[in-house]
Amino acid sequence: MKFTGLSRSVEDYLKAVYTLNERGEAAGTSQLARVLDVQPASVSGMIRRLAEDGLLEHEPYRGVRLTRAGSREALKVLRRHRIIESYLVQHLGFGWDDVHEEAERLEHAASDALVDRMAEAMGHPTNDPHGAPIPTRGGDIDPTAYPGLDEVATGSRITVRSVSDQDPARLRYFESVGLVPGAEAVVNESESDGDHVTLTVKGGRGPLTLTADVARRVTVIEA
Is the CB of 98 or the CB of 151 nearer to Zn ion? 98
- How far apart CA 155 and CA 173 sit, in angstroms, is 23
Q: Nearest CA to 84 among 22, 9, 134? A: 134
| Binding residue for Zn ion, selected from 66, 118, 165, 215, defined by CB under 5 A | 165
Q: Dmax over Cα atoms in the chain, in whole Å?
A: 54
Is the CB of 58 or the CB of 172 nearer to Zn ion? 172
Shortest gap between Cβ of 223 and Zn ion (angstroms)? 28
Is the CB of 112 or the CB of 189 nearer to Zn ion? 112
Name the DSSP letter for residue 127. Answer: B
- How far apart CA 16 and CA 31 sit, in angstroms, is 9
Query: From residue 69 to residue 108, what is the string marking binding to Zn ion with x (rule CB under 5 A)?
Result: -------------------------------x--x-----
Beta bridge partners, 187, equal 199
- How far apart CA 103 and CA 214 sit, in angstroms, is 23
Chain mean position to CA 94: 19
Is the CB of 43 or the CB of 171 nearer to Zn ion? 171
Shortest gap between Cβ of 100 and Zn ion (angstroms)? 4
Shortest gap between Cβ of 168 and Zn ion (angstroms)? 11
Summarize as ranges the residues that interact with Zn ion (CB under 5 A).
Answer: 100, 103, 165
